[in-house]
Amino acid sequence: MVAIPLYFEGDRVQTFERVVVTACDLSTQVARVVERGFTEEEARHRIAAQLPTEEKARQADHVVWTDRRFADTDRQVEEVWAVLTRP
């Protein structure tokens, strides 16, 4: 398992058998970038430079939505893990 920021924006799309994307809505995404010390304008600019979340989700084999309750995220991770570790 490998975490690669900007995976779809790079040239590694064919490198892995399966791709899991973590995703959230735009307002949550902006808030998280602002929490890391950027202005809202800078956050929106950085996000706009990336492939839209909806497109990443469309290209992924699995999507874990992280803008919900922790319990929901945990459940999604467990479901994906069960699929990925199935014999």
Q: What is the pTM of this model?
A: 0.84
Task: Say if residues 66 and 22 touch (Cβ distance below 8 Å).
Answer: yes
Enter the tokens of residue 75.
């459940």
Q: What is the pLDDT of residue 61?
A: 95
Task: Say if residues 2 and 45 touch (Cβ distance below 8 Å).
Answer: no
Task: Say if residues 72 and 29 touch (Cβ distance below 8 Å).
Answer: no
- Kindly give the confidence (pLDDT) of every residue in the chain, 87 residues in length, as a single tens digit, with 9 standing for 90 and above: 778 777 888 776 677 889 999 999 999 999 999 999 999 999 999 999 999 999 999 999 999 999 999 999 999 999 999 999 998
Q: What is the pLDDT of residue 1?
A: 76
> How many other CB atoms sit within 10 Å of the CB of residue 30?
19
Q: What is the pLDDT of residue 12?
A: 63
